[in-house]
Protein backbone atom coordinates (compact mmCIF):
# COMPACT_ATOMS: atom_id res chain seq x y z
CA UNK A 1 0.00 0.00 0.00
CA UNK A 2 2.72 2.43 1.02
CA UNK A 3 4.72 1.51 -2.02
CA UNK A 4 1.69 2.11 -4.22
CA UNK A 5 1.16 5.63 -2.92
CA UNK A 6 4.83 6.40 -3.32
CA UNK A 7 4.60 5.25 -6.89
CA UNK A 8 1.49 7.32 -7.53
CA UNK A 9 3.03 10.42 -6.05
CA UNK A 10 6.21 9.85 -8.00
CA UNK A 11 4.17 9.62 -11.18
CA UNK A 12 2.25 12.73 -10.25
CA UNK A 13 5.45 14.58 -9.58
CA UNK A 14 6.87 13.49 -12.90
CA UNK A 15 3.84 14.62 -14.93
CA UNK A 16 3.65 18.00 -13.14
CA UNK A 17 7.30 18.58 -13.91
CA UNK A 18 6.50 17.96 -17.58
CA UNK A 19 3.99 20.82 -17.79
CA UNK A 20 5.95 23.61 -19.42
CA UNK A 21 4.14 26.65 -20.73
CA UNK A 22 5.74 26.78 -24.14
CA UNK A 23 3.42 29.65 -25.11
CA UNK A 24 5.74 31.96 -23.16
CA UNK A 25 8.40 31.44 -25.82
CA UNK A 26 6.17 32.44 -28.75
CA UNK A 27 6.74 35.88 -30.22
CA UNK A 28 3.82 36.64 -32.57
CA UNK A 29 5.69 39.66 -33.99
CA UNK A 30 8.18 37.41 -35.80
CA UNK A 31 7.63 37.75 -39.53
CA UNK A 32 5.69 40.99 -39.25
CA UNK A 33 8.59 43.15 -40.37
CA UNK A 34 10.59 42.87 -43.55
CA UNK A 35 14.37 42.44 -43.73
CA UNK A 36 14.77 45.90 -42.20
CA UNK A 37 13.60 45.77 -38.59
CA UNK A 38 10.66 48.05 -37.93
CA UNK A 39 9.77 48.46 -41.61
CA UNK A 40 7.02 46.63 -43.43
CA UNK A 41 8.93 46.82 -46.72
CA UNK A 42 9.51 43.30 -48.04
CA UNK A 43 7.61 41.83 -45.07
CA UNK A 44 6.07 38.44 -44.71
CA UNK A 45 2.36 39.25 -44.64
CA UNK A 46 2.14 37.66 -41.22
CA UNK A 47 -0.86 38.11 -38.95
CA UNK A 48 0.00 39.68 -35.60
CA UNK A 49 -2.75 39.98 -33.02
CA UNK A 50 -4.72 38.19 -30.35
CA UNK A 51 -5.33 34.58 -31.38
CA UNK A 52 -5.01 30.97 -30.29
CA UNK A 53 -3.02 28.58 -32.48
CA UNK A 54 -5.38 27.48 -35.27
CA UNK A 55 -8.16 29.70 -33.89
CA UNK A 56 -10.62 30.98 -36.47
CA UNK A 57 -10.87 34.35 -34.76
CA UNK A 58 -7.67 36.23 -35.48
CA UNK A 59 -8.31 39.57 -33.86
CA UNK A 60 -5.94 42.27 -35.01
CA UNK A 61 -5.40 45.75 -36.28
CA UNK A 62 -5.77 46.66 -39.93
CA UNK A 63 -3.16 49.16 -41.00
CA UNK A 64 -2.32 51.33 -43.92
CA UNK A 65 1.25 52.27 -44.65
CA UNK A 66 1.94 54.79 -47.38
CA UNK A 67 4.73 54.17 -49.87
CA UNK A 68 5.25 50.47 -49.34
CA UNK A 69 4.18 47.69 -51.61
CA UNK A 70 0.66 46.92 -50.46
CA UNK A 71 1.38 43.21 -50.29
CA UNK A 72 3.05 43.75 -46.93
CA UNK A 73 -0.18 44.74 -45.17
CA UNK A 74 -1.92 41.48 -46.00
CA UNK A 75 -1.90 40.22 -42.41
CA UNK A 76 -3.33 43.55 -41.23
CA UNK A 77 -0.48 44.45 -38.88
CA UNK A 78 2.54 46.49 -39.97
CA UNK A 79 5.26 47.93 -37.73
CA UNK A 80 4.36 51.59 -38.24
CA UNK A 81 1.15 51.62 -40.27
CA UNK A 82 -1.85 53.79 -39.52
CA UNK A 83 -4.67 51.88 -37.84
CA UNK A 84 -7.87 52.01 -39.88
CA UNK A 85 -9.84 49.38 -37.97
CA UNK A 86 -9.69 46.35 -35.69
CA UNK A 87 -11.14 43.23 -37.17
CA UNK A 88 -11.88 39.60 -36.41
CA UNK A 89 -10.62 37.63 -39.41
CA UNK A 90 -7.11 37.61 -40.84
CA UNK A 91 -4.82 35.29 -42.72
CA UNK A 92 -1.05 34.83 -42.77
CA UNK A 93 0.94 34.37 -45.93
CA UNK A 94 -1.23 35.63 -48.77
CA UNK A 95 1.40 36.97 -51.11
CA UNK A 96 -0.56 38.99 -53.65
CA UNK A 97 -3.83 40.49 -52.55
CA UNK A 98 -5.08 40.57 -48.95
CA UNK A 99 -7.99 38.51 -47.65
CA UNK A 100 -10.37 39.38 -44.78
CA UNK A 101 -9.92 42.27 -42.37
CA UNK A 102 -13.62 41.92 -41.49
CA UNK A 103 -15.83 42.76 -39.57
CA UNK A 104 -14.28 45.86 -38.06
CA UNK A 105 -14.66 48.20 -35.17
CA UNK A 106 -12.80 51.44 -34.58
CA UNK A 107 -12.81 53.36 -31.29
CA UNK A 108 -13.09 57.08 -32.01
CA UNK A 109 -12.47 60.10 -29.80
CA UNK A 110 -13.89 63.42 -30.97
CA UNK A 111 -16.99 64.79 -32.58
CA UNK A 112 -18.45 63.39 -35.74
CA UNK A 113 -19.08 65.70 -38.66
CA UNK A 114 -22.67 65.95 -39.74
CA UNK A 115 -21.93 66.82 -43.36
CA UNK A 116 -20.47 64.41 -45.86
CA UNK A 117 -17.58 66.77 -46.62
CA UNK A 118 -16.69 66.97 -42.92
CA UNK A 119 -15.76 70.09 -40.99
CA UNK A 120 -12.02 70.38 -40.24
CA UNK A 121 -10.99 68.59 -37.05
CA UNK A 122 -14.06 66.40 -36.98
CA UNK A 123 -14.39 62.74 -37.83
CA UNK A 124 -16.08 61.83 -41.07
CA UNK A 125 -16.87 58.13 -40.82
CA UNK A 126 -17.03 57.94 -44.63
CA UNK A 127 -13.39 59.06 -44.88
CA UNK A 128 -10.93 56.85 -43.01
CA UNK A 129 -8.22 59.53 -43.36
CA UNK A 130 -10.11 61.65 -40.79
CA UNK A 131 -9.81 59.02 -38.07
CA UNK A 132 -6.93 56.69 -38.83
CA UNK A 133 -4.43 56.48 -36.02
CA UNK A 134 -0.72 56.39 -35.42
CA UNK A 135 0.37 54.12 -32.62
CA UNK A 136 2.35 55.27 -29.60
CA UNK A 137 5.22 53.11 -28.34
CA UNK A 138 5.65 49.42 -29.07
CA UNK A 139 2.84 46.93 -29.45
CA UNK A 140 2.65 43.99 -27.05
CA UNK A 141 1.92 40.57 -28.51
CA UNK A 142 1.87 37.10 -26.98
CA UNK A 143 -0.22 34.00 -27.57
CA UNK A 144 -3.86 35.04 -27.25
CA UNK A 145 -3.15 38.68 -26.42
CA UNK A 146 -2.32 41.90 -28.27
CA UNK A 147 -2.13 45.45 -27.01
CA UNK A 148 -1.55 48.75 -28.74
CA UNK A 149 -1.88 52.39 -27.83
CA UNK A 150 -3.53 54.78 -30.29
CA UNK A 151 -2.55 58.44 -30.58
CA UNK A 152 -6.13 59.38 -29.59
CA UNK A 153 -5.31 58.05 -26.10
CA UNK A 154 -7.34 54.85 -26.52
CA UNK A 155 -5.58 51.70 -25.36
CA UNK A 156 -6.70 48.68 -27.37
CA UNK A 157 -6.46 45.11 -26.11
CA UNK A 158 -7.42 42.21 -28.34
CA UNK A 159 -7.84 38.54 -27.65
CA UNK A 160 -9.15 35.53 -29.51
CA UNK A 161 -10.82 32.27 -28.53
CA UNK A 162 -11.41 29.55 -31.13
CA UNK A 163 -14.47 31.17 -32.68
CA UNK A 164 -14.89 34.45 -30.82
CA UNK A 165 -12.85 37.54 -30.22
CA UNK A 166 -12.67 40.16 -27.53
CA UNK A 167 -11.82 43.81 -28.04
CA UNK A 168 -11.26 46.06 -25.04
CA UNK A 169 -10.90 49.83 -25.30
CA UNK A 170 -9.69 52.04 -22.48
CA UNK A 171 -10.72 55.55 -23.46
CA UNK A 172 -8.88 58.59 -22.13
CA UNK A 173 -10.62 60.47 -19.35
CA UNK A 174 -11.45 63.62 -21.27
CA UNK A 175 -14.69 65.35 -22.06
CA UNK A 176 -14.44 64.48 -25.71
CA UNK A 177 -17.07 62.32 -27.36
CA UNK A 178 -16.42 58.58 -27.53
CA UNK A 179 -17.69 56.38 -30.31
CA UNK A 180 -17.13 52.89 -31.61
CA UNK A 181 -17.52 52.72 -35.36
CA UNK A 182 -18.73 49.36 -36.69
CA UNK A 183 -17.97 49.39 -40.39
CA UNK A 184 -19.32 46.43 -42.33
CA UNK A 185 -17.85 47.86 -45.55
CA UNK A 186 -14.29 47.78 -44.20
CA UNK A 187 -11.86 45.10 -45.39
CA UNK A 188 -8.16 44.92 -46.16
CA UNK A 189 -7.85 46.72 -49.47
CA UNK A 190 -5.54 45.98 -52.38
CA UNK A 191 -4.29 49.43 -53.23
CA UNK A 192 -3.24 48.59 -56.76
CA UNK A 193 -6.65 47.08 -57.52
CA UNK A 194 -6.67 44.00 -59.74
CA UNK A 195 -8.80 40.90 -60.05
CA UNK A 196 -8.01 39.51 -56.59
CA UNK A 197 -9.20 42.61 -54.73
CA UNK A 198 -11.88 42.09 -52.13
CA UNK A 199 -15.28 43.73 -52.36
CA UNK A 200 -18.07 44.36 -49.93
CA UNK A 201 -21.37 43.19 -51.44
CA UNK A 202 -23.78 44.28 -48.74
CA UNK A 203 -24.94 43.68 -45.21
CA UNK A 204 -27.31 44.52 -42.43
CA UNK A 205 -26.83 45.53 -38.85
CA UNK A 206 -29.24 46.16 -36.02
CA UNK A 207 -28.63 47.52 -32.58
CA UNK A 208 -30.52 46.22 -29.56
CA UNK A 209 -29.38 47.80 -26.33
CA UNK A 210 -25.78 46.78 -25.83
CA UNK A 211 -25.86 44.06 -28.48
CA UNK A 212 -25.59 44.42 -32.19
CA UNK A 213 -26.08 41.73 -34.73
CA UNK A 214 -26.23 41.34 -38.44
CA UNK A 215 -24.41 39.92 -41.42
CA UNK A 216 -22.24 41.04 -44.29
CA UNK A 217 -21.08 39.51 -47.55
CA UNK A 218 -17.66 39.88 -49.14
CA UNK A 219 -16.05 38.39 -52.21
CA UNK A 220 -12.63 38.11 -53.76
CA UNK A 221 -9.33 38.33 -51.95
CA UNK A 222 -6.21 36.25 -52.45
CA UNK A 223 -8.01 32.99 -53.22
CA UNK A 224 -10.40 34.75 -55.64
CA UNK A 225 -13.04 33.25 -53.40
CA UNK A 226 -16.74 33.12 -54.01
CA UNK A 227 -18.81 35.43 -51.81
CA UNK A 228 -18.74 34.49 -48.14
CA UNK A 229 -21.04 35.63 -45.38
CA UNK A 230 -19.88 36.78 -42.00
CA UNK A 231 -22.48 36.62 -39.27
CA UNK A 232 -21.86 38.96 -36.42
CA UNK A 233 -23.09 39.12 -32.92
CA UNK A 234 -21.29 41.45 -30.56
CA UNK A 235 -22.05 42.33 -27.01
CA UNK A 236 -20.75 45.68 -25.91
CA UNK A 237 -20.05 46.23 -22.25
CA UNK A 238 -19.06 49.53 -20.75
CA UNK A 239 -16.73 48.80 -17.85
CA UNK A 240 -17.35 52.29 -16.46
CA UNK A 241 -21.02 51.57 -15.75
C1 LIG B 1 -10.24 54.05 -46.86
O2 LIG B 1 -11.54 54.24 -47.34
C3 LIG B 1 -11.65 54.21 -48.75
C4 LIG B 1 -13.09 54.58 -49.09
O5 LIG B 1 -13.99 53.70 -48.47
C6 LIG B 1 -11.26 52.84 -49.26
O7 LIG B 1 -11.32 52.81 -50.68
C8 LIG B 1 -9.84 52.56 -48.82
O9 LIG B 1 -9.48 51.27 -49.23
C10 LIG B 1 -9.72 52.69 -47.32
N11 LIG B 1 -8.33 52.54 -46.95
C12 LIG B 1 -7.93 51.65 -46.07
C13 LIG B 1 -6.45 51.61 -45.86
O14 LIG B 1 -8.68 50.92 -45.46
C1 LIG C 1 5.36 59.02 -50.24
O2 LIG C 1 5.87 59.26 -51.52
C3 LIG C 1 5.53 60.51 -52.02
C4 LIG C 1 6.01 60.58 -53.46
O5 LIG C 1 7.33 60.12 -53.57
C6 LIG C 1 6.12 61.60 -51.14
O7 LIG C 1 5.71 62.88 -51.61
C8 LIG C 1 5.58 61.43 -49.72
O9 LIG C 1 6.21 62.36 -48.85
C10 LIG C 1 5.86 60.03 -49.22
N11 LIG C 1 5.19 59.83 -47.95
C12 LIG C 1 5.79 59.25 -46.90
C13 LIG C 1 4.94 59.13 -45.67
O14 LIG C 1 6.92 58.84 -46.94
Over the chain (241 residues), what is each successive 10-residue block's mean pLDDT? Answer: 59 69 92 82 87 94 82 88 96 89 96 76 91 97 97 97 95 93 94 87 92 93 88 73 37
Reduce the DSSP state of residue 25 to 3 states and report it: helix
Q: What is the pLDDT of residue 6?
A: 60
Angle among Cα 83, 78, 75 to the nearest 5 degrees reads: 95
Cα angle 233, 57, 53 (rounded to 5 degrees) comes to: 155
Note the pLDDT of residue 135: 98
**DSSP bridge pairs for 86:** 61, 105
Show Cβ contacts of residue 229 under 8 Å, excluding neighbours closer than 6 positions. 215, 216, 217
- Cis check for the bond before 162: say yes or no (omega within 30 of 0): no
Q: What are phi and psi of 8, to 5 degrees?
A: -60, -45
Give the Å distance between the CA of 67 and the centre of ligand 2: 6
Tell me the fold of 27-235.
Beta-galactosidase; Chain A, domain 5 (2.70.98)
Sketch the domain layout of the chain as residue ranges: 27-235
Q: Assign 2 to helix, strand or coil.
A: helix
| Distance, CA of 110 to CA of 44 (rounded, Å) | 35
CA pair distance 218, 230, nearest whole angstrom = 8
Ligand 2 center from residue 126 Cα (angstroms): 24
Residue nearest to atom 9 of ligand 1 (CA): 189
Rounded distance from Cα 214 to ligand 2 centre (Å)? 39
**pLDDT (0 to 100) of residue 186:** 97
What atom in ligand 1 is closest to the CA of residue 126?
A: 5
Radius of gyration (Cα) for the chain, nearest Å? 21
Amino acid sequence: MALKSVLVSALLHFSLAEVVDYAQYVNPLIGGSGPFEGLAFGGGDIFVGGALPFGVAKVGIDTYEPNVSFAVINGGWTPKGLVTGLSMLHESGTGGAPKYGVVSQMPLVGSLSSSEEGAPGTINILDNRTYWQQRVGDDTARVGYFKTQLESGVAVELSGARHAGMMRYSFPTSNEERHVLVDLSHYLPQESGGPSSQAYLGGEISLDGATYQGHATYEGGWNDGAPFHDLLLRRVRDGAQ
